[in-house]
Amino acid sequence: MNNKLKSLLVAFTASTLAVGQVAAQDVATGLKLLDNNQACLAKDNFEKLAAATPTADNQFYLGYYYLRTNQADLAKGAFEKGLAADPKNQLNAVGLGAVLLAKGDRGTAKIAFDAALKATKNKNMDVLFRAGEAYTGYVAIDSLKPLYKTTDPAQAIAYLDMAIALGMKNNQKNPDVYMAKGDAFYLKTESGPAVSAYEDAYNINPSLGKAFAKVAKIYYGGKNYPLAQETFKKGIEVDPNYAPGYAEYAEMLFYVRQYKNASKFMDQYLEKIGQCASDDDILRSAQFNFVGDDFTKAKEKSEQMLKKKSDNPVLYRMLGWSAYKRNDCDKAVENIQKFLEMAPQKAVINDYKYLGECMIKMPGADTLKAVGILEKAAQLDTVENGYKTIGSFYQGARKYKEAATYYQKALEREKTPSLQDLQNVATAYYNYANLIRPLAGPDSAAMRKLKRETFLKSDSLYAKMIEKKPDYVYPYGQRAKATYFAFTPAEAIENGLAIPHMEKYVPMAEADKVANKQNLITIYRVLGSYSYIKNKDTEKAKEWYKKVLELDPADTYATEALKSFEAPVAPPPPPAPAPKAAPAKKAAPAKKKN
């Protein structure tokens, strides 16, 4: 384990559970370690206690440790040794009953419990407590589910109520009895009484972090997130060393998408449990680091885990995703592909998305394969519109036909398209139309038709942009040009379809002649030609050509046109120049409604 990771997982600070540092063993320490998800230290504690002083009580708690860690056969051996050490010690008899219950033998377990209660005349609080707790199956904090399937919450409550009554009579209140009672009510799906029992536990011991954590978990399960968050915080405040409180709070924060805080609290959980952190704990923490944008930690933990256990495909996913976020596409592709080879059935949207986006950026990439992967992600993703990524790639590569195809798919995916959505596909169609070059020959008519239809598609989309934001100048100019260039110059002058759009554009664009210079020059020329050829208005044509020279005194087209008017018979002006590709500018923000 490298030094940096060791400092995250093993080094105990002043805030770490103090009992984890001491060498002395005692039952209270062991139970606290067990509750704190530090089973590896609890094991050492209980085994050394039983070895040093093999009393009936120490054997019981060793067996109890085994029972709580799903090792029923080892528990049975410890309880049997406890009974051998003191046949009158009924705790070990209860322990053997719990083992029977864990193995599904409900009837024989009940006989063992009843015999232990009879032997103690129902006057031993610990016997009543441990018998009742056994019937809950030992409810885990992370899942709020019992460790063992064979439970009887009603019988558990009956025994626990007897223990509580005996404790009150003898002025001995044990908060753990109330915790077990809360678990029993929760198993009965009675959340209200469960919360009341847990509250009774922390009323006895106000610093009982596990009681606050279980109440918070119930609020969380009921989707009362503000109250759950408040209760988790209170539990951490009163018991800062109760590690599971950090983990469960982190899980809730993850669920409500507070990823940075989730990552922070899960890291604190690892610090609290130290050397007892399991591989799953470390991997879960790495996942939280990733979604919390701490990609360095995610990478370090995943690499360390990979050295120990390279057969876990999720580790390759984590390394691949972390590499993607660090813009290391070589490593991202290598690791995500490895993950998909090992566990294709576990693939999710981001596996395809990150892989495709990285593949498409790499030199010599198989573009079609990368786009196929991105399209698979886009088809699965109902949140983000992945078709935009593909459209953007093709737009940047000047493959405008493909860009139009995917931007159109992106547009169709949007319930309420934005101005930028409309502009993306309109610009792609416009630029694609510019590339269509009708030549002489049998295909010329078909090419001319395709060019016209493609320009007119962009025209209709620019019209929608104008509807969405009437004061946005850009689509007026683009619509005017698209409508004009959809036809031959002669056809455009004759049908005049572009003229109204140009006339709307000019006064808006003239508010900033510097920014709109090139568009204005093009449109002034067309308006001059239209005035002269269609309307036979030489004076109006002159006005338009003079406007061209105001913007560009060196413009030979306008200069020659004006000279031609001075000749005895003025020839018609030449056709307007070929269109330029539309700039892939960012759409203006939509105007806010009052």
Q: How far is CA 506 from CA 268, 477, 535, in A?
A: 63, 8, 19
> Model pTM?
0.69
Give me the half-sphere count of Cα atoms (radius 13 Å) on the Cβ side of residue 119: 15
Is residue 214 domain-resident?
no
In this prediction, residue 328 carries a pLDDT of 94
Q: Rounded to an integer, what distance in angstroms lies between the CA atom of residue 183 and that of residue 214?
A: 9
**CATH number (domain holding residue 560):** 1.25.40.10
In this prediction, residue 17 carries a pLDDT of 33
Is residue 399 domain-resident?
yes
Q: Rounded to an integer, what distance in angstroms lies between the CA atom of residue 428 and that of residue 391?
A: 9
Q: 146 pairs with which residues across the strands? A: 139
Yes or no: say if 139 and 149 are a contact pair by the CB < 8 Å rule: no
Is residue 436 domain-resident?
yes
User: pLDDT tier at 417 (50, 70, 90 boundaries)?
Assistant: very high
Give me the half-sphere count of Cα atoms (radius 13 Å) on the Cβ side of residue 488: 10
Is residue 444 domain-resident?
yes
In this prediction, residue 586 carries a pLDDT of 74
User: pLDDT tier at 567 (50, 70, 90 boundaries)?
Assistant: low
Q: Rounded to an integer, what distance in angstroms lies between the CA atom of residue 463 and that of residue 478?
A: 9
Please state the domain count of the chain.
1
Is residue 531 domain-resident?
yes
Q: Rounded to an integer, what distance in angstroms lies between the CA atom of residue 151 and that of residue 1?
A: 41
Residue type, 34: L
Q: What is the mean pLDDT of residues 87-114?
A: 97
User: pLDDT tier at 590 (50, 70, 90 boundaries)?
Assistant: low
H helices of 103-148, in order, are 106-119, 125-136
Give the number of other Cβ atoms within 10 Å of residue 303's Cβ.
16
User: pLDDT tier at 579 (50, 70, 90 boundaries)?
Assistant: low
Burial 144-160 (b: 16+ CB within 10 A, else e): bebbbebbbbebbbebb
Q: Rounded to an integer, what distance in angstroms lies between the CA atom of residue 95 and that of residue 115?
A: 12
pLDDT per residue as tens digits for the range 491-507: 999 999 999 999 999 99
User: pLDDT tier at 408 (50, 70, 90 boundaries)?
Assistant: very high
Is residue 250 domain-resident?
no
pLDDT per residue as tens digits for the range 296-331: 899 999 888 888 777 889 889 989 999 999 999 999
pLDDT per residue as tens digits for the range 371-381: 999 999 999 88
Q: 139 pairs with which residues across the strands? A: 146
Among 194, 158, 159, which Cα is nearest to 179's? 194
In this prediction, residue 572 carries a pLDDT of 54
Which residues are CB-contacts of 192 (< 8 A; sequence separation ≥ 6)? Answer: none
Size (the chain), residues: 594
DSSP character string of 310-379:
TT-HHHHHHHHHHHHHTT-HHHHHHHHHHHHHH-GGG--HHHHHHHHHHHHHSTT--HHHHHHHHHHHHH
Is residue 313 domain-resident?
no
Q: Is the pLDDT of residue 220 over 50?
A: yes
Q: Which two tokens stand for residue 465?
A: 């942009």
Yes or no: say if 317 and 290 are a contact pair by the CB < 8 Å rule: no
Is residue 6 domain-resident?
no
Q: Rounded to an integer, what distance in angstroms lies between the CA atom of residue 345 and that of residue 343?
A: 5
Yes or no: say if 563 and 576 are a contact pair by the CB < 8 Å rule: no
Burial 189-214 (b: 16+ CB within 10 A, else e): ebbeebbbbbebbbebbeebbbbbbb
Which residues are CB-contacts of 159 (< 8 A; sequence separation ≥ 6)? Answer: 113, 117, 128, 129, 131, 132, 135
Residue type, 400: Y
What residues make up the domain containing 416?
Answer: 385-566
Q: Rounded to an integer, what distance in angstroms lies between the CA atom of residue 261 and that of residue 259?
A: 5
Q: Is the pLDDT of residue 10 over 50?
A: no
Which residues are CB-contacts of 529 (< 8 A; sequence separation ≥ 6)? Answer: 489, 493, 541, 572, 573, 575, 576
The H or E element containing residue 271 is helix 259-273
Give the number of other Cβ atoms within 10 Å of residue 87's Cβ.
11
Q: Rounded to an integer, what distance in angstroms lies between the CA atom of residue 482 and that of residue 463?
A: 11
Q: Rounded to an integer, what distance in angstroms lies between the CA atom of residue 68 and that of residue 61?
A: 10
pLDDT per residue as tens digits for the range 430-467: 999 999 987 666 678 899 999 999 999 999 999 999 99
3-state secondary structure 443-479: CHHHHHHHHHHHHHHHHHHHHHHHHHCCCCHHHHHHH
